[in-house]
């Protein structure tokens, strides 16, 4: 099952459906701190099912991404993560690397169009588990 974008009127529906879904696409939805905390908690509750998450252009900052990456670490079937077009910068590089080290199922990650310097992009790209992860940055 796949979960598509939601609005504030459907926030409770999101909580109920997330446990049953294996794909989350909340792209182009502005996610405030409350929504990110709720989403991170629901990800932890669905760690056995989740395979794909797309959070493109959601206004996610380093703190929000840190919460989400921490929740995604234990998702045993997760293979695709897209955090493109958000507000991430060099301060989150270590958290991204830690996520990639701890989650052995991820095969593709997108971090394009964020605010990383060239050096940070290279650090992230260099961690690809011997070619087992495609990292786009």
List the pLDDT tens digit at each of the 137 positions of the chain: 444 445 444 453 455 556 668 999 999 999 999 999 999 999 998 889 999 999 999 999 999 999 999 999 999 999 999 999 999 999 999 999 999 999 999 999 999 999 999 999 999 999 888 889 999 99
pLDDT at 131: 85
What's the pTM? Answer: 0.87
The candidate with the shortest Cα–Cα distance to 49, out of 107, 3, 101, is 3
**What ranges make up the beta strands (E) of 1-137?**
2-3, 23-25, 52-54, 80-82, 108-110, 134-136
Distance CA 52, CA 91 (A): 25
> 134 to each of 93, 104, 107, 117, how far by Cα in Å?
16, 13, 6, 19
pLDDT at 1: 41
pLDDT at 90: 98
pLDDT at 56: 98
Question: For residues 50-89, b (16+ Cβ closer than 10 Å) or e, as one string?
Answer: bbbbbbbbbebbbebbbbbbbbbbebeebebbbbbbbebe
Cα 81 off chain centre by = 5
Do the Cβ atoms of 58 and 31 come closer than 8 Å?
Answer: yes
pLDDT at 52: 97
């Amino acid at each position: 099952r796949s979960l598509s974008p939601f609005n504030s009127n459907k926030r409770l529906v999101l909580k109920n459906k997330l446990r049953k879904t294996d794909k989350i696409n909340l792209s182009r939805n502005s996610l405030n701190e409350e929504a990110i905390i709720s989403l991170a908690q629901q990800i932890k509750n669905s760690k056995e099912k989740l395979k794909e998450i797309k959070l493109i252009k959601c206004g996610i900052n380093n703190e929000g991404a840190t919460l989400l990456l921490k929740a995604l670490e234990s998702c045993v079937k997760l293979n695709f993560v897209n955090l493109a077009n958000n507000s991430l910068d060099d301060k989150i590089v270590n958290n991204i690397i830690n996520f990639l080290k701890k989650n052995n199922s991820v095969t593709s990650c997108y971090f394009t169009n964020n605010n990383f310097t060239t050096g940070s992009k290279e650090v992230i790209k260099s961690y690809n588990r011997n070619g087992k992860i495609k990292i786009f940055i």
